[in-house]
Amino acid sequence: MTKALRGSISVGLQDMIANPDGRGPQQRRRARDRRGTPLPGIKQVLVQAGHLAPREPHFEAATGTTGEQQLVKAIRDKLVKMLDSDGRFVGMPVPGDIPDGVKVDAALFLHADGVSDASAGGFQFGFPVNEANRKLVANLRREFLSLEGHPKSRSDNSTGDARDYYGYSRVHSPFKVLVEHGFLTNPTERQWLRANIGNLARAKYEALCRTFTIPRPRSSRHEMHGLTGAFQHKEVNIGWRLGEAKVETRIRTKPGADEVLSKRARLGAIG
């Protein structure tokens, strides 16, 4: 096990590829090949910011349309923060290079479109065609259409890139959906997308809750955890050692009184 995998990781599973500083190509490749098992009682959601470096080997030049990386990274980070603040989810942020064979409960691949025709617009979803993905896509579309001023809805899987996205083969998950949020080359959509980063992240969070039949929080975070006292603090620490992840959720219901919930899950060997 590499030193990069040891220690404490606060607030969610941070993907080893998303923060490669200080590690050489061989270490990054070993991290790409890690295979985990789902954490019991917690839904793990991989969220990719498309085209963000480090990118898929042999596709390093695929940087996306102008402004795409910045947009999808901002949406990804907002969504992961929402997932991590909910004790029932753990967000796994990844860049263009997705860990090979990673096992999660759901995977979302975030992108935006761009073409020479400035009038082209609309959002769509790409996915392997099966009932599970149809369910998640239906919930995503429902939430997107609830946003005021949203781009129009386009036909799904309308391009080969959407139908056969490489991320589908990298991830083991019952739910795998690519999200094309709209056209950054359309001035109206570009302005709307940049102004609705938080709303787009929230739409995905709501869709995931609906897909997994998880009650959505009504007004405050303490209700989300079923607590009756004043919610003051929550943190999730994930410590890696010898191939085991210990997930510790610490909930403070009042000063000086902490409730600690721990879960363990075996992680596959890292080659």
| 257 in Cβ contact with 126 (< 8 Å) | no
Q: CA-CA distance, 271 to 158, in Å (whole number)?
A: 38
Tell me how far CA of residue 215 lies from CA of 114, 151, 208, 209, 245, in angstroms.
Answer: 36, 28, 10, 7, 26
Task: Report the C-alpha gap between 144 and 207 in whole angstroms.
Answer: 9
pLDDT of amino acid 77: 98
Strands 7-10 and 102-103: unpaired
Backbone angles phi, psi at 65, to 5 degrees: -75, 165
Q: Which residues of the chain have pLDDT under 50?
A: 1-36, 219-271
Alpha carbon dihedral 147, 152, 156, 162, in 10-degree steps, equals: -90
Longest dimension (CA), the chain: 60
For domain 11-211, give its CATH number from 3.40.47.10, 3.50.50.60, 3.30.230.10, 3.40.630.40: 3.40.630.40
Token digits of residue 198: 């938080």
Domain boundary assignment for the chain: 11-211, 221-266
CA pseudo-torsion sign 132, 136, 126, 20? negative
Give CA 91 to chain center in angstroms: 5
> 154-191: per-residue pLDDT in tens?
999 999 999 999 999 999 999 999 999 999 999 999 99
pLDDT digits (tens, 9 = 90+) for 74-106: 999 999 999 999 999 999 999 999 999 999 999
How much is the pLDDT for 67?
98
